[in-house]
A and B are shown apart, each in its own frame.
Chain A
Amino acid sequence: MTAWREPPSLTSPEQPMSMHDLTVPVATPAIPWRERLGTMVPILVLAPSLVASFIYVFVFTLWTLYLSLSNSSLMPTYGFVGLDNYASLWANRRWNIAYTNLFLFSGFYIVGSMAIGLLLAILIDQRVRGESIWRTIFLYPLAVSFIVTGTVWSWLYNPVDGIQAFVRGLGWTDFSFALTANRNTAIYAVIITGIWQSSGFAMALFLAGLRSVDPDLVKAAQIDGASVSRIYRRVILPTIAPIFLAVAVIQIQFAIKTFDLVAALTRGGPGVSTTFPAIYVYDLMFQRGQIGEGAAAAMMMLAALAVVLVPYSLWIVWRRRAEGRNG
Chain B
Amino acid sequence: MSTLTIRNLHKSYGAVEILAGINLEAQTGEFVALVGPSGCGKSTLLAMIAGLETVTSGEIWIGDRLVNSVQPKDRDIAMVFQSYALYPTMTVRENITFGMESRGVPKAAQAEAVKRVAALLQIEQLLKRKPGQLSGGQRQRVAMGRALVRDPKLFLFDEPLSNLDAKLRVDMRTEIKKLHHRVGKTTVYVTHDQVEAMTLASRIAVMNQGSVQQFDTPKQIYDRPTNMFVAGFMGSPAMNFIPARLTGSSSISVRAADGTDATLTVATPLPAGAPKDVVLGVRPEHIYRFTTDLKSRKPAVESMQAPVELVEPTGAETLAVLRLGALEITGRFEPDDAPIMGETIALGIDMSRACLFDPTTKALL
Contacts and interface: CB of A to CB of B under 8 A. Distances in A.
Interface of A: 214, 216-217, 219-227, 230, 234-235, 238-239, 241, 323, 326
A326 B83 contact: no
Interface in B41-74: 47, 50-52, 71-73
A219 B52 contact: yes
B164 to A, nearest CB: 16
B133 interface: yes
A238 B98 contact: no
Residue among B77, B82, B102, B133 facing the most chain A CB atoms (10 A cut-off): B102
Contacts of B90: 234, 238
Contact of A241 (B47, B78, B89, B132): B89
Contacts of A239: 87-89
A235 B82 CA distance: 18
B98 A326 contact: no
A216 B146 CA distance: 14
Contacts of B79: 219-220, 223
Contacts, number: 68
Interface string B178-214: 0000000000000000000000000000000000000
B81 interface: yes
A227 B88 contact: no
B89 A225 contact: no
16 contacts: A219-B72, A219-B79, A220-B81, A220-B146, A222-B51, A222-B52, A222-B71, A222-B72, A223-B73, A223-B79, A223-B99, A225-B103, A230-B102, A234-B98, A235-B89, A326-B133
A241 B90 CA distance: 13
A155 to B, nearest CB: 46
Contacts of B98: 221, 224, 226, 234
Contacts of A217: 85, 87-88
Given A222-B71, A224-B98, A234-B98, 15 more contacts: A214-B83, A216-B81, A216-B85, A217-B85, A219-B79, A222-B51, A223-B77, A223-B99, A224-B102, A225-B99, A225-B103, A226-B73, A226-B99, A235-B87, A239-B87
Contacts of A326: 132-133
A202 B82 CA distance: 32
Contact of B72 (A216, A223, A238, A241): A223
Contacts of B52: 219, 222-223
A214 B133 CA distance: 18
Contacts of A230: 102
Nearest to A322: B132
A220 B139 CA distance: 14
Interface of B: 47, 50-52, 71-73, 77-79, 81-83, 85, 87-90, 98-99, 102-103, 132-133, 146
B78 A223 contact: yes
Given A219-B52, A220-B85, A241-B89, A225 B133 contact: no
A254 B83 CA distance: 39
A216 B83 contact: yes
A223 B132 CA distance: 22
Nearest to A222: B72
Contact of A219 (B78, B85, B132): B85
Contacts of A219: 47, 50, 52, 72, 79, 81, 85
A144 B274 CA distance: 78
Which 5 interchain pairs have the tightest Cβ spacing? Answer: A224-B99, A225-B73, A216-B85, A238-B89, A220-B85
A242 to B, nearest CB: 11
Contacts of A216: 81-83, 85
B83 A223 contact: no
Contacts of A323: 132
A323 B88 CA distance: 13
Residue among A216, A235, A241 facing the most chain B CB atoms (10 A cut-off): A216
Nearest to B82: A216
Contacts of A241: 89
Nearest to B84: A216
Contacts of A221: 87, 98, 102
B50 A223 contact: yes
A318 to B, nearest CB: 15
Contacts of B132: 323, 326
B124 to A, nearest CB: 20
Contacts of A235: 87, 89
B256 to A, nearest CB: 53
A226 B102 contact: yes
B84 to A, nearest CB: 8
A217 B72 CA distance: 14
Residue among A214, A217, A220, A227 facing the most chain B CB atoms (10 A cut-off): A220
A222 B146 CA distance: 13
Given A235-B87, A238-B89, A326-B132, A222 B81 contact: no
Contacts of A220: 79, 81, 85, 87, 146
A326 B90 CA distance: 16
Given A224-B102, A230-B102, A214 B72 contact: no
A14 B343 CA distance: 48
A232 to B, nearest CB: 13
Nearest to A231: B102
Nearest to B103: A225
Contacts of B51: 222-223
A220 B24 CA distance: 24
A224 B133 contact: no
Contacts of B99: 223-226
A226 B78 CA distance: 13
A211 to B, nearest CB: 16
Residue among B71, B72, B85, B103 facing the most chain A CB atoms (10 A cut-off): B85
Contacts of B71: 222
A230 B71 CA distance: 16
Contacts of A222: 51-52, 71-73
B89 A224 contact: no
